[in-house]
């Protein structure tokens, strides 16, 4: 055994029965990606740490990672409300100001897109919470545990369109008559202005009164004050225009938010409502919610898979883009996993249901996105804090302007009051506050559509800060399963004949090395049939033997050749060359000696070359961390152009390596399988889990889950984060810049009320549309060809 081999935990000792290639039966379990370095014990201990990785990784996954993801406060009860009137950060602030000071309230989570509020509390009953929301005229509806999200009403109903039309015509009419007659107080102007205000202004005035009662200086209070002030000083046309422009801007903003909501829903509302289930007398359509685990379902061409399941018979090509972001269909055969929401593009399969509808991969993605929306990003927290001080300060300045202006600078009291009202409208930080949530939600939606599940705005924003990314080798940079890489004659026997004999012997073995050799033969000689083998036998820890056409053949590892006494210096040199490259060697021997040498190794993913190059282009340093031996690690790293490659690492050593990288570079990401690398993932600033579509643990523990196995998406995430950060800065600069310009115009006496409303709400719409640009971040990626350097 290898000099690097470490004692295995006693927990797994009963699993270590040796097979023909010197590897334990436990190591055969290819569905467990834990074993970093899926090589073979008979050369350099390539699997020496597998069991340790499994045990430590699972424990870490349970105990470490959840701490990074804002778990519910201990000892609290949870209650969810649907609030149809809550569709803007303004309402969120109003609710926070009312509920957070209440005794027994621990935490509030808001999902503005779905208009949901989750309250964690220590009250005996939630009635006081509902009463407080009713007092704010929020009309809450209690949602049961696990209740599906009800459809949000359309942003622009037919009734609202009609009211906007009436309000607009009346406001324009009042403004036109006042301008042509020069009389802003005529009964016709007042009547038209009043009609405009009553058509669309009552909700604003009502919300303004509620804000005043709760001592909250929000947009509705400021607008109500501006409308009332304009009416008091006789500026009826101005008041009407303010009401109309504000209502139009709110409608357009609601439509923009609806677009972001639909982008999210398009990702999560993909599974059909019924499934074709096998019953005693045939097949029957049943609601997916009623289909239990173990049922047999059938999915035909063109249909969506209703539930997570395992193929039992048949075969098909599936479009998994809604789940993994993969651009090409994936072939599915018996034993393969089907994900709810994926589409059968060709073929028919029958499958056994493996999860209920509420626990499917698609459902977990939906839950993760909903949870991510409820978490406030760093920029949003900063903006909220800024607005907390900014708005009262400007309101105070407007009051001083109205009171001290006539006293210090002369002029009519009405004129100074008018300028103060203009300043009140400008004071609203609506554009500033709304800029962050829409940008973050658009980024989350774009990433999820691309097969990247980001667990919150914090990670979306902080990804741009990464200076180094540590990558696990097996299953991340490599395919995670052995493949035939080398085949060479060692004597006079033709290589094709030697490979056929070796494959015929290994066809009787289930060992991964044997399967890789047989698969390699099939790829090279697809039209050839196997040779019959007699007297087949397993040579424990060494290989196999058998007779073909009456001649005895041996096929096995380096130790087998030595025990047969047919090893030579020339063969040793040939084997050393392959073994130093991290490959597992297999030798075919006739009674007269070795006749062929084969090598099997975990091969590099075609996408890994582009992935490493993309990280370097972003000036992010790629580092390889693996439990495999240093020779294998170095061989893979050299192919990819990674300078820093570290082998023989146990899970706690990977964690220490991440800590050291943080000290050297700053912010560091860690990419692993989400299970066995949990310690290192938790230690990193951002933990990435690969292949998360098939692993519930990865979805739950990772900060960023890559739904398929494409490592290029690490760089895609960093690019998305950098663009999101750029858009957030643009939005803040835009919102503040417009306010500074209009402050100057107001102080100079050149700004009107309707101009101030138009500017403020125009700024809001500009930052919303700017944030929505993130939805188009990812273009369709072309198919990958092997990008060997």
One-character DSSP codes across 414-481: HHHHHHHHHHHHHH--HHHHHHHHHHHHHHHHHHHHTTEEE--HHHHHHGGG--EEEEEIIIIIEEEE
What is the rounded CA–CA span in Å between residue 742 and residue 752? 10
The answer to whether the CB of 626 falls within 8 A of the CB of 633 is: yes
What ranges in 486-618 are assigned the alpha helix state H? 495-506, 512-524, 558-564, 569-580, 606-617
What is the rounded CA–CA span in Å between residue 602 and residue 623? 18
The answer to whether the CB of 685 falls within 8 A of the CB of 466 is: yes
What is the rounded CA–CA span in Å between residue 48 and residue 4? 7
What is the rounded CA–CA span in Å between residue 524 and residue 513? 17
Measured in degrees and rounded to the nearest 5, phi and psi for residue 347 equal: 105, 175
SS3 136: coil
The answer to whether the CB of 316 falls within 8 A of the CB of 349 is: yes
Is residue 472 annotated as a catalytic residue, yes or no?
Answer: yes
What is the rounded CA–CA span in Å between residue 174 and residue 193? 6
Which bin fits 182, alpha (ψ -120 to 50), beta or left (φ > 0)? left
The answer to whether the CB of 584 falls within 8 A of the CB of 39 is: yes
Sequence-distant contacts of 409-416: CB under 8 A, at least 24 apart: 414/233, 414/234, 415/749
Which bin fits 347, alpha (ψ -120 to 50), beta or left (φ > 0)? left
Q: Which of 44, 50, 47, 41 is nearest to 543 (CA)?
A: 41
Q: Which of 87, 472, 602, 685 is catalytic?
A: 472
What is the rounded CA–CA span in Å between residue 499 and residue 571? 18
What is the rounded CA–CA span in Å between residue 282 and residue 366? 33
Which of the residues are catalytic? Answer: 472
């Amino acid at each position: 055994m290898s000099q690097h081999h470490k004692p295995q935990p006693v927990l797994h000792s009963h699993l270590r029965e040796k097979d023909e290639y010197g590897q334990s039966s436990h190591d055969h379990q290819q569905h467990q990606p834990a074993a970093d370095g899926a090589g073979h014990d008979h050369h350099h201990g390539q699997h020496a740490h597998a069991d340790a990785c499994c045990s430590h990784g699972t424990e870490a996954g349970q105990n470490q990672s959840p701490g990074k993801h804002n778990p519910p406060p201990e000892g609290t009860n949870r209650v969810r409300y649907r609030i149809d009137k809550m569709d803007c950060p303004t309402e969120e602030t109003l609710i926070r100001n009312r509920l957070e000071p209440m005794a027994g309230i621990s935490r509030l989570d808001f999902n503005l897109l779905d208009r949901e509020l989750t309250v964690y509390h220590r009250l005996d009953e939630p009635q006081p919470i509902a009463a407080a929301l009713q007092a704010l005229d929020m009309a809450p509806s209690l949602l049961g545990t696990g209740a599906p999200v009800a459809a949000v009403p359309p942003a622009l109903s037919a009734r609202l369109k009609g009211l906007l039309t009436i309000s607009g015509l009346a406001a324009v009419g009042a403004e036109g008559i006042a301008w042509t007659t020069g009389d802003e107080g005529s009964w016709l102007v007042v009547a038209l202005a009043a009609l405009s205000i009553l058509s669309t202004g009552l909700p604003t005035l009502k919300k303004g009164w509620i804000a005043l009662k709760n001592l909250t200086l929000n947009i509705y209070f400021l607008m109500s004050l501006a409308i009332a002030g304009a009416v008091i000083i006789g500026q009826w046309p101005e008041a009407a225009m303010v009401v109309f422009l504000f209502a139009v801007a709110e409608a357009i903003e609601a439509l923009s938010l609806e677009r972001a909501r639909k982008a999210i829903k398009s990702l999560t509302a993909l599974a059909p409502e019924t499934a074709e289930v096998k019953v005693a007398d045939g097949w029957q359509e049943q609601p997916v919610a009623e289909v239990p685990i173990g049922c047999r379902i059938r999915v035909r061409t063109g249909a969506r898979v209703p539930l997570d399941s395992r193929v039992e018979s048949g075969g098909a090509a599936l479009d998994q883009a809604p789940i993994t972001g993969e651009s090409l269909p994936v072939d599915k055969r018996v034993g393969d996993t089907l994900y709810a929401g994926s589409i059968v593009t060709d073929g028919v399969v029958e499958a056994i249901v493996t999860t209920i509808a509420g626990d499917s991969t698609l459902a977990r993605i939906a839950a993760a996105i909903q949870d991510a929306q409820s978490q406030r990003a760093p920029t949003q927290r900063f903006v909220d804090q800024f607005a907390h001080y900014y708005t009262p300060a400007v309101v105070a300045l407007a009051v001083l302007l109205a009171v001290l202006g006539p006293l210090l600078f002369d002029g009519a009291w009405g004129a100074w009051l008018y300028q103060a009202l203009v300043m009140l409208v400008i004071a609203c930080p609506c554009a500033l506050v709304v800029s962050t949530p829409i940008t973050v939600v658009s980024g989350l939606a774009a990433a999820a559509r691309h097969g990247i599940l980001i667990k919150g705005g914090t990670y979306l924003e902080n990804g741009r800060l990464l200076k180094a990314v540590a990558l696990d080798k097996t299953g991340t940079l490599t395919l995670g399963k052995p493949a035939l890489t080398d085949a060479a004659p060692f004597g006079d026997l033709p290589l094709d004949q030697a490979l056929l004999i070796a494959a015929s012997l290994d066809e009787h073995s289930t060992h991964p090395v044997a399967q890789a050799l047989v698969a390699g033969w099939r790829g090279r000689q697809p039209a050839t049939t196997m040779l019959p083998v007699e007297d087949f036998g397993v040579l424990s820890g060494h290989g196999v033997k058998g007779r073909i056409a009456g001649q005895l053949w041996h096929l096995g590892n380096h130790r087998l050749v030595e025990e047969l006494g047919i090893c030579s210096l020339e063969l040793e040199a040939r084997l050393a060359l392959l073994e130093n490259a991290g490959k597992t060697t297999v030798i075919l021997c006739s009674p007269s000696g070795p006749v062929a040498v084969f090598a099997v190794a975990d091969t590099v993913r075609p996408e890994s070359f582009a992935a490493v190059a993309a990280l370097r282009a972003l000036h992010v340093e790629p580092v390889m961390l693996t439990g495999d031996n240093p020779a294998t690690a170095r061989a893979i790293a050299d192919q990819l152009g990674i300078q820093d490659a570290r082998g023989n690492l146990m899970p706690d050593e990977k964690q220490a390596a991440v800590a050291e990288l943080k000290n050297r570079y700053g912010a560091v990401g860690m990419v692993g399988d989400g299970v066995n690398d949990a310690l290192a993932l938790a230690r990193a600033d951002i933990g990435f889990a690969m292949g998360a579509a098939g692993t519930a643990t990865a979805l739950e523990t990772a900060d960023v889950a890559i739904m398929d196995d494409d490592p290029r998406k690490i760089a895609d995430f960093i690019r998305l984060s950098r663009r999101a950060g750029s858009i957030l800065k643009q939005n803040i600069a835009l919102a503040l810049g417009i306010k500074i310009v209009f402050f100057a115009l107001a102080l100079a006496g050149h700004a009107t009320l309707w101009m101030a409303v138009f500017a403020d709400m125009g700024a809001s719409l500009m930052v919303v549309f700017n944030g929505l640009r993130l939805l188009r971040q990812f273009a369709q990626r072309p198919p990958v060809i092997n990008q060997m350097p």
